[in-house]
Amino acid sequence: MSDTFQKLALVPEGEHVVRLDHGEKHWYMNKRPDLHLFFWMENSLDYDGVILPGYFQVREWINEKTFRAGPKSKYFRMYQACFGPVDSDIFRTDDFRGIDLRALVKNIKRDSSKEALAPVNHYSKVDRILGKADED
């Protein structure tokens, strides 16, 4: 195993409190650069510290840390759910750093071709950020 290998975690679906670990530009199937955000779970006896990925399409990358996302994109809407209305379409990979977030976590049981995955290959991902954890 390489030093960068990280096993994909499987946690119960639903709403969880997470915190951004880091974000990065990542090529999706060598076709387009997407935004990958990695969140660690907080305040969970069984899953505290578990890292969950989140995958988001963006309009355009400005550099390795800055990108554009349109007002109909999932990222733009998640950002506004946390911070309120914005006047720009420019964002950074660390926009959510240092904030406890309410996240909707989904379990992945099929691959990109819609083929069923063996149970050993199921994993969880952050589907979207619902808002700040301290704003219920």
- Asked if residues 82 and 131 have their Cβ atoms less than 8 Å apart, the reply is yes
pLDDT at 1: 44
pLDDT at 5: 66
Sheet holding 60-61, edge to edge: 60-61, 66-68, 90-92
Buried-state track 20-40, b at ≥16 Cβ within 10 A, e below 16? beebebeeeeeeebbbbbbbb
- For 104, residues 6+ apart whose C-beta sits below 8 A from its C-beta are 14, 15, 126, 127, 128, 129, 130
For 109-129, how does the pLDDT look when each residue is reduced to its tens digit (9 = 90+)? Answer: 999 899 999 999 999 999 999
Closest listed residue to residue 104, CA positions, set 80, 78, 86, 122: 78
Q: Is the pLDDT score of 45 beyond 70?
A: yes
pLDDT at 29: 62
Pairing type for strands 66-68 and 32-41 reads: unpaired
Query: Could you tell me the pLDDT band of residue 47, with boundaries at 50, 70 and 90?
Result: confident
Q: Is the pLDDT score of 136 beyond 80?
A: no
For 54-109, how does the pLDDT look when each residue is reduced to its tens digit (9 = 90+)? Answer: 999 999 999 999 999 999 999 999 999 999 999 999 999 999 999 999 999 999 99
Q: Is the pLDDT score of 2 beyond 80?
A: no
Highest mean pLDDT among 26-35, 36-45, 100-109: 100-109
Tokens linked to 49: 């510290």
Single pTM value for the model: 0.87
